[in-house]
Amino acid sequence: MALDPRLLAVLACPVDKGPLYYLGDDGGLYNPRLRRRYLVRDGIPVMLPDEAETVAEGEAAALDARIAAGELPPTFVA
């Protein structure tokens, strides 16, 4: 179940307040600036900083390349 686009349009990282990149419910929401991922559980984004996961360097590089290619749009434009 994909997140509602209206919800995505207002989601920001709770730490740096910048936009996130939605990777699907299985992938969560990615912050390339901090290389952190917020999971989505039962269709609800878990936006607690203590529960965010650090993304490994190789995976972060792949995600950053997808962002640069325009494959992943930000949740909002700052």
Name all domains of the chain by residue range, CATH numbers in brackets.
Answer: 19-78 (2.20.25.10)
CA gap 52, 68 in Å, rounded: 23
28, pLDDT greater than 80:
yes
Provide the whole-model pTM: 0.93
Per-residue pLDDT of 29-66, as tens digits, reads: 999 999 999 999 999 999 999 999 999 999 999 999 99
